[in-house]
Amino acid sequence: MQSIFDYDKQSLIDYFLSIGEKKFKAEQVYSWIYEKRVFNFDDMTNLSLDLRDKLKSTFDISLLEIVRKQESDDTNKYLFKLSDGNFIEAVLMKHDYGNSVCVSSQVGCNMGCAFCESGRLKKVRDLLPGEIVRQILMIEDDYKNRISSVVVMGIGEPFDNYDNVMRFIRIINDPKGIAIGARHITVSTSGLVPKIYEYADEGIQTNLAVSLHAPNNELRSKIMNVNKAYNIDLLIKAVKDYIDKTNRRVTIEYLLLKDVNDTSECAQELADLLKGLNVYVNLIPYNETSHIEFKKSTKENIMNFYDILKKNKINVTIRREFGGDIDAACGQLRASEVERWNHFILQTQER
C-alpha cells in the first residue's frame, strides 16, 4: 500500500478525480493531515463512510517509529525505524529565532566521502517523499512546536534522489500544508553538477548549499569521490550559472579537517576560487566519529582560516556546533544502531 504522505496536493487531487470524487474532497483530506494533524481516516468526519473505507483500503497512513531520541539543550536527535526495518535519523536544532530540522534523504549514501559516517555504510535505498515528510511531522508532534526551517543535510545525497526530494519540498512548502516557506528550505549537495542545473530550472525560491570541503582538485578527489566525476571547475561553473539564473546566494560548506584542508594556503586558495561569486562560506567544525581517523581542526586553525577569508572579503561564518555530545554528526546515530544490530545478529548466528 502506498503511503498517503507520498502525495502532494495535486497528485492527491488527480487520484480523487480518477475515482470520480470531487477535488475539494482531496483538499479536505490534505487539510485533515497537514492542518489538523489527524492521522486516521476514521476521524475525518466530513468524509462519507464509504469514502473513508475506500481511503483505508487504498492508503497507508502510518507514521514512523521513534526508536531512540537523544536530547540536549539546543538539539534533539531522533532515530526512526521505517516500515521495512531500516533506520534513518533527523535532528532538531533549537535557535532563538525558530526551530530547524535536518532531514535524511536516503538510507545510507553512495558518494563515499572519506570523512562521513553515512558514506561508510553505503546506500541501502532512496527515501520516499512521505518518509522525508514524516520526519518533520514526527518531530513537530514530539516537540509540540512548529518547525520554521528545513535543511536536507542528514543521511544521503539529496540530488541522488532528486524527484522524491523535490516532491517532499512541494509537500512541506504547500501553504495549506506544513507551510514552510521556500526561502527556509535548503538542499545540500556534494556536487552532482547536472542536478544543480536541474534545480536551477525549478523556478522555486529554495536554497542551495554545496559541500566543497577543498579548494583544489587534488585534495578534493582524495576526500570526496564525487570530485572524480564532477571536478571543481565544473562545480564552480555550475554554482555560477545557478546564481546567474536564480539570483540566489549559494552556501559553500567547508568542513575543517585537522592538517588536511585547514592550512593558510588552503584558505587563500579558497578565497581566490570564490572571489566575485555571490556565495557565503559556512565553516563546519568536524564532528569526530569513532570509525574514521580524521580529526577536528584546532580553534586556532579555525580562526586563522576564518580571518584569511574575511581579509579577502569573502562572506563567512563558523557553524555553531550542535549536539557534539550526542552523536549529532551526519549518520552517527544510525551507524551506531546498525552496528548494534550487526553485533546482535552475529551473536545470534554464533550461538
Contact footprint for ligand SF4 (CB under 6 A): 109, 111-113, 116, 118-119, 156-157, 190, 211, 330
Q: Nearest to residue 284, comparing CAs of 156, 103, 115?
A: 115
149 binds ligand SAH (CB under 6 A): no
* Out of 5, 34, 87, 115, the residue judged to bind ligand SAH by CB under 6 A: 115
Residue 90 phi, psi dihedral angles, 5° rounding: -145, 150
126 binds ligand SAH (CB under 6 A): no
Annotated catalytic, 266? no
- Cβ pair 316, 275 in contact under 8 A: no
Residue 34: CB atoms within 10 A of its CB come to 20
SS3 245: helix
Q: Least distance in Å: CB of 97 to ligand SF4?
A: 26
CA–CA separation, 316 and 279 (whole Å):
9
Site string for ligand SAH, 219-258 (x = CB under 6 A): ----------------------------------x-x---
- Joined together, the cell numbers standing for residue 48 give 462519507
Please choose, out of 7-15, 123-131, 182-190, 310-318, the segment that lies near ligand SAH by the rule CB under 6 A: 182-190
Residues 315-334 that bind ligand SAH (CB under 6 A): 329-330
Q: Which of 21, 89, 117, 157 is catalytic?
A: 89
* Out of 153, 250, 283, 309, the residue judged to bind ligand SAH by CB under 6 A: 153
Residue 253 binds which entry of ligand SF4, ligand SAH, none, CB below 5-8 Å type-dependent: ligand SAH
Of 7 and 159, CB closest to ligand SAH: 159
CA–CA separation, 216 and 271 (whole Å):
12
- Cβ pair 199, 210 in contact under 8 A: no
Q: Least distance in Å: CB of 188 to ligand SAH?
A: 4
297 binds ligand SAH (CB under 6 A): no
The stretches of 193-327 forming alpha helices (DSSP H) are: 193-200, 217-223, 226-229, 232-246, 264-274, 299-311
Q: Nearest to residue 306, comparing CAs of 209, 315, 288?
A: 315
Q: Supply angle C-alpha 50, 55, 56, rounded to 5.
A: 95
Residue 268 phi, psi dihedral angles, 5° rounding: -65, -40
Residue 161 binds which entry of ligand SAH, ligand SF4, none, CB below 5-8 Å type-dependent: none
188 binds ligand SAH (CB under 6 A): yes
Residue 284 binds which entry of ligand SF4, ligand SAH, none, CB below 5-8 Å type-dependent: ligand SAH
Provide Rg for the chain, Cα atoms: 21
Encoded amino acid at 204, one letter: I
Annotated catalytic, 330? yes
Size of the site for ligand SAH (CB under 6 A): 16
Residues 6+ apart with CB under 8 A from 78: 66, 68, 69, 89, 90, 91, 92, 135, 138, 139, 142
Of 158 and 177, CB closest to ligand SAH: 158
Residue 286 binds which entry of ligand SF4, ligand SAH, none, CB below 5-8 Å type-dependent: ligand SAH
Q: Least distance in Å: CB of 33 to ligand SF4?
A: 29
Q: Least distance in Å: CB of 230 to ligand SF4?
A: 12
Encoded amino acid at 278, one letter: N
211 binds ligand SAH (CB under 6 A): yes
116 binds ligand SAH (CB under 6 A): yes
Residue 105: CB atoms within 10 A of its CB come to 28
SS3 252: strand
Footprint on this chain of ligand SAH (rule: CB under 6 A): 115-116, 153, 157, 188-190, 211, 253, 255, 284, 286-287, 289, 329-330
Q: Which residues are catalytic?
A: 89, 330
